[in-house]
Amino acid sequence: MDKNIVTATINARRPNWTTDRLTTRIVHIGCGAFHRAHQALYTHHVLEKTDSDWGYCEVNLMSKHGADLIKKLKQQSMLYTVAEKAETHTELKIIGSMKEAMHSLIDGVDAIIEKMASPSVSIVSLTITEKGYCVDPATGKLDKNNPLIQQDLATPNQPTSAIGYITAALKRRAERKLPPFTVLSCDNVRENGHVAREAVLGLAKLQHAELAEWIEANVTFPCAMVDRIAPAATAETLAEIAELLGVKDDCAIACEPFRQWVIEDNFVNGRPEWNCAGAQFVEDVVPFELMKLRMLNGSHSFLAYLGYLGGYAHIADTMANPDYRRAAQALMLDEQAPTLIMPEEVNLKAYANSLIDRFTNPSLKHQTWQIAMDGSQKLPQRLLDPIAWHIENQSSYRHLALGIAGWMRYVAGVDEQGKKIDVRDPLVDTFAAIYAKHGLAVSVVDDLLAIDAIFGIELPQNPHFVATIKLAYQQILDLGVRQAVAQL
């Protein structure tokens, strides 16, 4: 190309610095859409407002697509575009917080571990999705039988999982008597710092008892709540951004204008001044995590399963149906908000109204199918934990129940028109076997509830819970999802 993102100044402001200013102080594992639109953007704004040198080394570990992205970032001198799309206008930002980028298929496993072990690195951050932590959702402990963990135990110096890479890098730092780094999870996982800690310590204990003791004594794992709707980039998105920018950017990403980052201030080896870019440092992140997981992510999952089955491709499409809109708001205010204990300054009704507005934004093409991925990893914290609260408090949870029933109907792998659903989930084979046995019948509910990695032990033993889910599932079969939502 005779023009590229490096020289693009047509409709967006370029950073007034180059990568020479930056030092790799953060290694980030999981350079996907959300990270590019969130943490990397926050750090970019810190660089705009201060003389900071905090830069990222971006790391992708898996998939050819991840390797392609790393190659393209390098070709673009580590610059890329974020398009913040409001209903009436779009603001373009060319982001300059990335120093370098690596992929295991390009650079090799050892080079990535060595980068993480570098004395200049103070933080290793993560956006690897729930399944990337290799923990058992029912116990929160490391899943020793996870194939990635099994591989990491067999070849600890050539790990496969993100947890294996972190553990190997910490081992080198301990052996070299270097300061530790902070492990900062930025995933939508309840108490994500604690989950990361359990995973890393769990693997270290299986590998080297002394290493586990050193990690426990020296490494911190702050929790964080992250919020911004950033759909995966599509050809349509990239074409739209290219037209606005005046040049093609294969690494561009579109997102909503809203962003939030609440971080436990527990860093062992320094951190950027993310607060000057709008982040909040607090002592306890958990209330904010639960608010977001239940009200935003929980309603997103509700709309994803029932919306996809109802024929809606995007979340904004579901909001055009008054029944879905009312149901999502009632789910938030009547069934999720009562389960939360928030600081006095937080207005949950205002938060719910803002979420409805964000979901309604037609400029964001957030696919219901995308949100529906990996439901087995998401249901416990988004929908099942609140149901347990309602059972204990003897209160209604019919919206939550319909959300669970919608997920059960979705993993059948066929929609209401008989078309195949591309179900993406670690337990997809288990779901297929259950449906092969039962077909589309309410009898599937018992076998699905018996998956204790999702539902645990107590809920499936509660007769009221089982009956409520069966009733909701039967309603979907009898009425179809749109009418089932309308009946709420």
Q: Specify whether 402 is located in the same domain as 346.
A: yes
Distances (CA, A) of 269 to 113, 116, 169, 275: 18, 14, 15, 17
Asked if 339 and 294 touch (Cβ cutoff 8 Å), the reply is yes
Q: For the ranges 220-224, 232-236, 471-475, which has the lowest average pLDDT?
A: 232-236
Structural domain harbouring 358 = 286-487
Name the domain boundary from 220, 255, 282. Answer: 282
CATH number of the domain that 113 lies in?
A: 3.40.50.720
* pLDDT at position 144: 94
Q: Specify whether 215 is located in the same domain as 347.
A: no
Q: Residue 391: which residues within 8 A CB-CB, separation 6 or more?
A: 397, 459, 462, 464, 465
* Number of domain units in the chain: 2
Statement: residue 42 has pLDDT above 70: yes
Statement: residue 132 has pLDDT above 60: yes
The one-letter amino acid at 406: G
**Is position 6 within any domain?**
no
pLDDT band at 439 (very low <50, low <70, confident <90, very high): very high
pLDDT in tens, 151-160: 999 999 999 9
Q: Specify whether 241 is located in the same domain as 336.
A: no
pLDDT in tens, 249-289: 999 999 999 999 999 999 999 999 999 999 999 999 999 99
Q: Specify whether 198 is located in the same domain as 328.
A: no
Q: Specify whether 68 is located in the same domain as 127.
A: yes
What share of the chain in percent tops pLDDT 70?
98
Pairing of strands 224-227, 54-60: unpaired
* pLDDT at position 4: 60
Q: Specify whether 181 is located in the same domain as 308.
A: no
Burial 79-116 (b: 16+ CB within 10 A, else e): bbbbbbbeeeeeebbbbbbbbbbbbbeebebeebbebb
Confidence (pTM): 0.86
The neighbouring-strand residues paired with 200 are none
Mean pLDDT within 42-71? 95
Q: Specify whether 78 is located in the same domain as 105.
A: yes
* pLDDT at position 140: 85
Residue 390 or 5, more confident: 390
Average pLDDT, the chain: 95
Q: Specify whether 275 is located in the same domain as 300.
A: no
In the numeric block, which tokens belong to residue 189? 């996982």
pLDDT band at 6 (very low <50, low <70, confident <90, very high): low
pLDDT in tens, 220-231: 999 999 999 998
Burial of 209 (0-12, 13-18, 19+ CB in 10 A): exposed
Q: Specify whether 140 is located in the same domain as 275.
A: yes
Distance CA 71, CA 79 (A): 12
Asked if 164 and 148 touch (Cβ cutoff 8 Å), the reply is yes
Q: Specify whether 276 is located in the same domain as 303.
A: no
**Is position 354 within any domain?**
yes
* pLDDT at position 62: 83
**Is position 142 within any domain?**
yes
* pLDDT at position 2: 33
Quote the DSSP letter at residue 301: H
Statement: residue 392 has pLDDT above 60: yes
Asked if 5 and 247 touch (Cβ cutoff 8 Å), the reply is yes
Distance CA 241, CA 94 (A): 12
Distance CA 434, CA 419 (A): 19
Closest CA to 405 of 297, 477, 453, 456: 477
Output the CA angle 71-74-77, nearest 5 degrees.
Answer: 155
Q: Specify whether 80 is located in the same domain as 142.
A: yes
**Is position 278 within any domain?**
yes
Q: For the ranges 61-65, 121-125, 174-178, 281-285, which has the lowest average pLDDT?
A: 61-65
* pLDDT at position 1: 30
- Tell the residue number behind the tokens 């990239």, with chain if given: 238
Q: How far from each other are the two terminal CA atoms of the chain, in whole angstroms? A: 55
Name the domain boundary from 282, 308, 327. Answer: 282
**Is position 11 within any domain?**
no
Q: Specify whether 57 is located in the same domain as 197.
A: yes
**Is position 9 within any domain?**
no
Closest CA to 59 of 140, 118, 141: 118
Distance CA 403, CA 374 (A): 15
**Is position 1 within any domain?**
no
pLDDT band at 186 (very low <50, low <70, confident <90, very high): very high
pLDDT band at 8 (very low <50, low <70, confident <90, very high): very low
Name the domain boundary from 282, 312, 341. Answer: 282
CATH number of the domain that 469 lies in?
A: 1.10.1040.10
Burial of 134 (0-12, 13-18, 19+ CB in 10 A): buried
The string of DSSP codes covering 324-379 is HHHHHHHIIIIIIGGG----TT--HHHHHHHHHHHHH-TT---BHHHHHTTHHHHH
Distance CA 151, CA 132 (A): 14
Mean pLDDT within 182-191? 94
Mean pLDDT within 301-329? 97
HSE-CB at 85 with a 13 A cutoff on CA atoms is 21
Contacts of 162-165 with CB under 8 Å at 24 or more apart are 162/29, 162/30, 162/61, 162/126, 162/128, 162/132, 162/133, 163/132, 163/133, 163/134, 163/196, 163/199, 163/200, 163/203, 164/203, 165/29, 165/59, 165/61, 165/109, 165/112, 165/113, 165/116
E strand intervals along 115-269: 123-126, 182-185, 224-227, 253-255, 260-264
**Is position 27 within any domain?**
yes
Distance CA 170, CA 199 (A): 13
* pLDDT at position 335: 98
* pLDDT at position 3: 47
